[in-house]
């Protein structure tokens, strides 16, 4: 009975948490980076087994680290030969934190934030102060939202902490170099192709790297693509149903809330981790958080998400296969499963 109530409460926490983030970013007119006000609650409530002080400190440290990186990137003055090594070093550090384990959340959030913010910071009209403010504020708001929904829908039986797995040094090196190399390649390609409107595809190219193994990334990529397709399809149906009322905040939040309820329930049935349902939830968070504006068409945005994410997944998987094979040629970076 307690387990059933905890499962229901988790679904409600995700739905209410992300919906609160959407309401805050729209009412406070924070649309420029509204996606992070919906994604941060989904990430924390959907993936983190237990939210405690250590988790909160990692989440808060991520935007602060991002401020330091943005400052260093600004000093490079958009020179690619200076910025690219800096970005590679940043990803080396974040993926090392993920590969080691205890600071996985810090590494994951820092990887996503730096990938997105550094890409947009490269454009001439980028406002570093607005980006810095949005990065910190969205995390703080996300943590406050998590505290509220945990109070409203408490955890009655805390889940067991995941076991810590001791990895050999060469495996940690392999995972760190694999993640950093592919993430840097993704960043460079998005810069060259000038893909400013492909936020979902850019986030996908980083999110599917989190397993940091060839088989794990392949599985994550397929699930992510399916999740984006389902989430985008839901957004299309939602706009068709609302028709001219899709700009009504109350109705839009209600539709967003119902979609999150459905995907959160499916995530529970899938089991812990990032699966198809989590991909659907993050897609809804991106579409409603970033593109629910008077001058935006949700149907176009959703269709563009499907095509761009599919291409991003295929290119990322190709890069992972290449770098995995390259790293396995050397004894010190060879990935061997014991």
Is 103 part of a structural domain of the chain? yes
| Structural domain range at position 217 | 2-157+166-333
Where residue 243 falls (left for φ over 0; alpha for ψ -120 to 50; beta otherwise) is left
- Give the Cα separation of 141 and 154 in Å (integer): 19
For residue 226, being part of any structural domain is answered with: yes
- Overall number of domains in the chain: 1
In a domain, 224, yes or no: yes
Answer whether residue 295 is part of any domain: yes
Place of tokens 């390609």: 189
Residue 238 covered by a domain: yes
Output the CA torsion 19→22→26→32 (10° steps): 180
> Could you tell me the two tokens for 96?
């090392």
The answer to the question of residue 204 being in a domain is yes
56: tokens are 């909160």
Q: Provide the residue-wise pLDDT of the chain in tens; the chain has 338 residues.
A: 446 788 888 999 999 999 999 999 888 887 777 888 999 999 999 888 778 899 999 999 999 999 899 888 888 766 777 888 999 999 999 999 999 888 999 999 999 888 888 877 777 776 777 778 888 999 999 999 999 999 999 887 766 666 677 778 888 999 999 999 999 999 888 888 776 667 778 888 888 898 888 888 888 888 888 988 898 889 888 888 887 777 788 888 999 999 999 999 998 888 766 678 988 998 888 888 877 665 566 666 677 777 888 888 899 999 999 999 999 998 888 886 55
Is residue 186, in this structure, part of any structural domain at all? yes
Q: Is residue 338 part of a domain?
A: no
- Burial bucket for residue 157 (CB in 10 Å: 0-12, 13-18, 19+): exposed
């Amino acid at each position: 009975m307690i387990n059933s109530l905890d499962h229901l409460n988790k679904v409600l926490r995700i739905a209410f948490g992300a919906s609160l983030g959407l309401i805050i970013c729209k009412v406070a007119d924070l649309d420029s980076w509204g996606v992070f006000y919906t994604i941060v609650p989904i990430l924390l409530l959907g993936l983190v087994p237990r939210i405690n002080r250590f988790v909160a400190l990692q989440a808060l440290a991520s935007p602060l680290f991002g401020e330091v990186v943005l400052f260093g990137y600004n000093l490079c003055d958009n020179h690619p030969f200076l910025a690219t090594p800096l970005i590679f070093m940043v990803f080396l550090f974040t993926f090392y934190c993920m590969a080691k384990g205890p600071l996985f959340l810090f590494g994951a959030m820092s990887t996503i934030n730096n990938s997105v913010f550094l890409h947009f910071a490269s454009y001439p009209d980028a406002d570093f102060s607005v980006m810095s403010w949005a990065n910190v504020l969205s995390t703080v708001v996300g943590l406050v939202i998590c505290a509220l929904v945990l109070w409203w829908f408490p955890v009655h039986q805390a889940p067991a902490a995941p076991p810590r797995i001791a990895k050999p040094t060469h495996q940690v090196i392999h995972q760190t170099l694999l993640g950093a190399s592919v993430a840097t390649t993704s960043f460079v390609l998005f810069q060259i192709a000038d893909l400013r409107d492909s936020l979902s595809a850019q986030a996908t190219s980083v999110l599917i790297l989190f397993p940091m193994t060839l088989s794990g990334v392949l599985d994550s990529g397929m699930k992510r693509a399916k999740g984006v397709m389902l989430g985008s399809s839901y957004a299309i149906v939602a706009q068709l149903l609302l028709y001219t009322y899709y700009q009504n905040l109350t109705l839009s939040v209600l539709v967003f809330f119902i979609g999150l309820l459905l995907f959160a329930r499916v995530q529970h049935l899938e089991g812990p981790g990032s699966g198809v349902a989590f991909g659907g939830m993050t897609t809804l968070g991106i579409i409603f958080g970033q593109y629910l504006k008077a001058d935006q068409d949700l149907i176009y945005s959703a269709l563009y998400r499907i095509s761009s994410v599919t291409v991003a997944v295929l290119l990322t998987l190709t890069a992972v296969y290449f770098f995995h094979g390259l790293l396995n040629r050397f004894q010190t970076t060879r990935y061997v499963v014991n």
